[in-house]
Amino acid sequence: MDLLNTLVDKGLRRELPTREEALAVLATPDDELLDVVAAAGKVRRQWFGRRVKLNYLVNLKSGLCPEDCSYCSQRLGSKAEILKYTWLKPDEASKAAAAGVAGGAKRVCLVASGRGPTDRDVDRVSQTIEAIKEQNEGVEVCACLGLLSDGQADRLRSAGADAYNHNLNTSEGTYGEITTTHTYADRVETVHQAQAAGLSACSGLIAGMGESDADLVDVVFALRELDPDSVPVNFLIPFEGTPLAKEWNLTPQRCLRILAMVRFVCPDVEVRLAGGREVHLRSMQPLALHLVNSIFLGDYLTSEGQAGQTDLDMIADAGFEVEGAGTTTLPGHRVDAGGGCGSHVGGCAPCGDGPEAETAPAEPVLAEADGDRAARTDLVTVRRRGAGTDLAPNA
């Protein structure tokens, strides 16, 4: 395909595709899906070889959030039966992080629900960062605490944080339909604050919330302009008890097209396969490794992922290798340009949350029932182990 040849050439030169080209990737038919994956895979291998970076989530404070983000099981008014607990003590968080590091994780992502941290919260997280780094040499730490106030990013950096995650989630034009308690501009400003403090910026999106192809392209182009070091791609986990519980709009094929589009637009950035991969990609997860160079290991904030050993087996069986702690994640030109965490030796999501004018409707996963798509409760398992419980974590 001329389109794919053009996109590969641009990706190898780090040249931005046109919006029309990005939209065309999302509109490719299933018969051409393997061609799309192969093309984007060439770009992925150019900048990241066959390495896969492992990241591990620790939910420092679960539930009871005052924000109304429609996709989130921790939101104000959520009826999702998730774990709810207040702040983990630094030693508890460090113990949880150690399980992920032992499983091969190179980065630990510390997440807390809420609009944003108080100064006391920053002190608490700073102590946690110090405890984790003291006990896990060389580990990267990414914080995800919501909207930042002046000076808080600097304090986190001084405490040893390497990165900060704050996702854009969806396009600016549709953001108000998803969240009303803060704005898209608030999110952009927090990413700018993290970058100004010398933290590596981690910012991504959530697909599958009923957005159009144009919305997906808008948010990915906005991320390219924002220039984070890592871009997590989340696929909506439709929790029962949230406003988007019946938004089952994704198929494995569509997820792969979205990941390929992100790779073409952000060729030399750490593209992370984040929340919802088990739910929506299912048996086609190994194909996604040809598009992304980073995944979360084990469980997520409020839902369970597949077994950590299964993740490791999948990576090995697909012919990829886990990125070691002594390996530089980002390509050299990004390191030379001052890239942050992950772009140096030693030492971001669905962190905290944790996007289509379609040429054809997205294929439903199930037939409609009573006028609505039936919820796939069999695919979503609420986390009952790890942080905030007495059970061993999945790593």
Q: Are 121 and 144 spatial neighbours (Cβ–Cβ below 8 Å)?
A: no
- The backbone torsions φ and ψ at residue 5, rounded to the nearest 5 degrees and listed phi first, read -60, -40
Q: Which DSSP category does 63 fall into?
A: S
How many other CB atoms sit within 10 Å of the CB of residue 281? 22
Residue tagged active-site, from 51, 75, 109, 341:
109
Which of 142, 341, 348, 351 is an active site residue?
Answer: 142
Query: In the annotation, is 266 catalytic?
Result: no
Q: Catalytic annotation on 72? A: yes
Which of 72, 341, 348, 351 is flagged as catalytic? Answer: 72
Catalytic residue flag (residue 341): no
Shortest CA distance to 27 belongs to which of 3, 53, 58?
A: 3
Positive/negative CA dihedral, 277, 280, 282, 285? negative
255 has catalytic annotation: no
Q: Which of 44, 254, 263, 272 is catalytic?
A: 272
- Closest by CA to 163, choosing from 330, 383, 389, is 330
Active site annotation includes 109: yes
Tokens of 328: 């530089």
Q: Which of 202, 255, 266, 348 is catalytic?
A: 202
Active site residue 144: no
Exactly one of 44, 51, 69, 348 is catalytic; which is it?
69
User: Of 51, 65, 124, 263, which is the active-site residue?
Assistant: 65
Which residues in the chain belong to E strands, given as ranges? Answer: 51-61, 107-112, 140-144, 163-165, 200-202, 205-207, 230-235, 270-273, 294-296, 321-322, 368-369, 372-373
Nearest to 243 by CA among 377, 375, 78: 78
Structure tokens at 27: 């509109």
Catalytic positions are 65, 69, 72, 109, 142, 202, 272
